[in-house]
A and B are shown apart, each in its own frame.
Chain A
């Protein structure tokens, strides 16, 4: 609820809140029962990152409509079980219309009841199957404490809780039904237990013996899976044959089971089909019949005569056939009951293990186990599970079992095939004869499937996947009972899939970061709080030669710092505990060689907990080599410029000197006609010299070689000296030069030569670009904007041609007189302002200009009265 202060706080805050919300939803989803859902919801919302301190969950009592408190935080005096009557309290509104309600000032509300946190309140309804079943009440002691962010989080928590409550209730109801069903079956089974069955069958044989007047008989049950008969009742055949197993075609019963026709053997001892298992019986003749339901075999019955005088007739056979249907039905009922009982056992076991599904987080395992459980629950041939990819709007089959092909990886658009259809309609689907179904996807043309049942996996109304089960056998067709089971199973599967998907996303992100670290060209090492290496990446091995296995547990500084660099390395480590550090250093490789590295280290905090340091090393050998080369090249350039300017100046000195000398001599010789030409030679020479000096200055500044020679000097005499130099320049264009400089302006500490040069540059510019005007130099002492440093301010203003906006942009660039033509017209090197500005920067000052075309310009230099330190490198 706290309002974040800065943008980085906002980002961190949002991440922390999202993490807290994920923890909350995971806790809710894995809650075992309804009450655990309430408890996880209030505990999760109290999380520091979310910071809700007063809240409670009320559930509506169906009989009275009262809201009953189930769990709360920050309400020490209000016990769970407290009732709020229907129609009372602020939260009643959310219950009535099923919408989130916000009351910014609860005291102003007519339904306000005094409580601990009487500021503002948010009420979020809990809704299951479209019906409001309760309300989440969140309070603050401050009025107007909640905003859109809070509504979003609280709504998300309430939605998750609603789903979980719905699921818990469904599971609870289903479990009760399963218990009842099983009890019923158990009772029935007692009545028709195997023991009972064999009693019935004995009774059957006894009746047959008396009815047919035979010596004895047997009944066997057919086991479809093993394709054999097992004798379950035997009477007076000369041995107890109970338990005997007969293959199809083996002995009398085996034969009738195979042919499905009754059989009379008049003389058993001469019969070729005897089974060795009956070699010792005392039997003369035999009559046997299959036990059938429709065409399906369930067992066989045989009667025997031990008396050689007795044989079986057609009449005997008719009488036996009167028995067989009821015997077959008795056997089948017993079998069905046993099967149903087994299924009930399985279903109960399935419900018992349902809850475990929520806590399994590895997606592939979850899906496999979801499918395995569905297949065993429904007793089907096989099935598939697909997850829905929202971005692609496609289902992807992620688990497949026994459907005649491995369909894993198959992608289905909504509407395509059975799962695609349920993903589109969001309704279950039973396809009784798959091969006649028109919605088949060509991707499944080769499956061996008879009938299909599919349901969508939904969380609320959001699709997360689909599940399909198939029957390969034509005798098994899905019915409503199967669908009921699968539908009961689906919400649980959906939550398991969703939890696993969230977990997988988090896991993928983790792997993504791990891959980033592993593939980073920068050596990365993570230290535990004791500064021992907890992990290192392959680039670390490439740089230092230590594999991760060698580095683990070692002290980083002792591993790669030498005696000479140890204290420096430890200082970096110490500093990194409190914040990011950055530096350039030399470290030792495993093979003992040294390497130049750029290093960075940051503390790693998870939430508010300090878990260690991360250090990065970047090999800068090449960079340093390049820098050394660049420095050498630069030094060569400076040397070249220095010697060039010397070589250029020597002949120039001769030109200027001789022309000056000749000017002096022609006065003596009285030949004034040469004076003008000599003056031109001298002016051109001096201009060239000024250019060379300026270029040299500029290149020195740019190479960082220009040095400051700081000294104390009196300002007023310096200004007077500059004025005397500038006066002839001013007069040339008919300008009036004035000065405003208090005599008591005092001293400054700066580079005298440069200050003088700067003032002369500005004054000579003003003289050049002004004709018959006024030029004024003003000198003042001033203070920095923040009142800190004392400044000396020199302003040169003129009444000249001024500067346009476009010219202003390029004013301080080298060789950037406003226009090329300007240089021809006004002379000058075009470097004066560039140099002046750079000198200003060097001394920690600045140069400003104010001007408008036609109305003159004012250039102002501000320099600290006491210039300190070395020059900053100019740019």
Chain B
């Protein structure tokens, strides 16, 4: 089953999303901030990253940019999650190196379809 790295600082969001993804059969690994997210992603072993954009310290935008600028070329698909449902966020996320974008609160069916589409195209 695919393994998903969830980078999320809010404990409840983390708990909720990881449990719901696990119920649908995904393996879920957790990073609680941008720095940890970048370290874990570099270490490898994930099929997809769900990246919250507003993180303390190193935020999701910068974390994504770092991964994409990494000499090892981390190409793991990233879906950006933002709470600001602002027009333009999608463009910004794609510009930063994300592969897709979704807004919080999570509508699980929508997010699942995006995850499945990215995993399918990665194969």
Question: Interface residues, chain A, CB within 8 Å of chain B?
Answer: 642, 645-646, 649-650, 652-654, 656-658, 660-661, 664-665, 685, 689, 693, 707-709, 751, 753-754
Question: Is there an interface contact between B85 and A661, defined as CB atoms closer than 8 Å?
Answer: no
Sample of 18 further A-B pairs with CB below 8 A, known A650-B13, A653-B105, A661-B19:
A649-B83, A649-B105, A650-B10, A652-B105, A653-B10, A653-B12, A653-B83, A653-B104, A654-B12, A657-B16, A658-B16, A660-B20, A661-B16, A664-B20, A709-B87, A709-B88, A709-B91, A751-B87
Question: Is there an interface contact between B87 and A707, defined as CB atoms closer than 8 Å?
Answer: yes
Complex CA–CA separation, A134 to B54 (angstroms): 100
Question: Is there an interface contact between A693 and B85, defined as CB atoms closer than 8 Å?
Answer: yes
Question: Is there an interface contact between A664 and B23, defined as CB atoms closer than 8 Å?
Answer: yes
Complex CA–CA separation, A645 to B91 (angstroms): 21
Contact with A along B75-119 (1 / 0, CB 8 A): 000000001110110010000000000001110100000000000
Question: Which residue of A has the minimal Cβ distance to B19?
Answer: A661
Question: Is there an interface contact between A656 and B88, defined as CB atoms closer than 8 Å?
Answer: no
In the complex, 13 of the A-B residue pairs with CB atoms within 8 angstroms, ordered by the A residue number, are A646-B83, A649-B105, A650-B13, A653-B13, A653-B106, A657-B16, A660-B20, A660-B108, A661-B20, A707-B87, A709-B87, A753-B87, A754-B87
* CB proximity of B111 to chain A, nearest CB, Å: 11
Question: Which residue of B has the minimal Cβ distance to A648?
Answer: B83
* CB proximity of A168 to chain B, nearest CB, Å: 87
Ordered nearest first, which 3 A-B pairs have the shortest CB separation?
A653-B105, A654-B12, A657-B16
Partner of B105, one of A645, A656, A753: A656
Question: Mostly helix, strand, loop or mixed at chain A's interface?
Answer: helix
* CB proximity of B106 to chain A, nearest CB, Å: 6
* CB proximity of A472 to chain B, nearest CB, Å: 99
Question: Which residue of A has the minimal Cβ distance to B105?
Answer: A653
Residues of A within 8 A of B106 (CB): 653, 657
Partner of A649, one of B17, B87, B104: B104
Complex CA–CA separation, A768 to B114 (angstroms): 30
Residues of B within 8 A of A689 (CB): 105
Question: Is there an interface contact between A654 and B16, defined as CB atoms closer than 8 Å?
Answer: yes
* CB proximity of A281 to chain B, nearest CB, Å: 133
Residues of B within 8 A of A654 (CB): 10, 12-13, 16
Residues of A within 8 A of B91 (CB): 709
Complex CA–CA separation, A660 to B19 (angstroms): 12
Complex CA–CA separation, A665 to B108 (angstroms): 14
Question: Which residue of B has the minimal Cβ distance to A706?
Answer: B87
Question: Which residue of A has the minimal Cβ distance to B13?
Answer: A653
Question: Which residue of B has the minimal Cβ distance to A685?
Answer: B105
Interface residues of B in 1-29 (CB under 8 A from A): 10, 12-13, 16-17, 19-20, 23
Question: Which residue of B has the minimal Cβ distance to A665?
Answer: B23
* CB proximity of A835 to chain B, nearest CB, Å: 13
Complex CA–CA separation, A685 to B88 (angstroms): 25
Question: Which residue of A has the minimal Cβ distance to B108?
Answer: A660
Complex CA–CA separation, A646 to B59 (angstroms): 15
Complex CA–CA separation, A222 to B88 (angstroms): 119
Residues of A within 8 A of B23 (CB): 664-665
Residues of B within 8 A of A653 (CB): 10, 12-13, 83, 104-106
Complex CA–CA separation, A653 to B103 (angstroms): 11
Complex CA–CA separation, A753 to B13 (angstroms): 26
Complex CA–CA separation, A751 to B90 (angstroms): 13
Question: Is there an interface contact between B87 and A657, defined as CB atoms closer than 8 Å?
Answer: no
Question: Which residue of B has the minimal Cβ distance to A649?
Answer: B83
Partner of B88, one of A652, A657, A707: A707
* CB proximity of B113 to chain A, nearest CB, Å: 13
* CB proximity of B59 to chain A, nearest CB, Å: 13
Complex CA–CA separation, A707 to B87 (angstroms): 8
* CB proximity of A694 to chain B, nearest CB, Å: 11
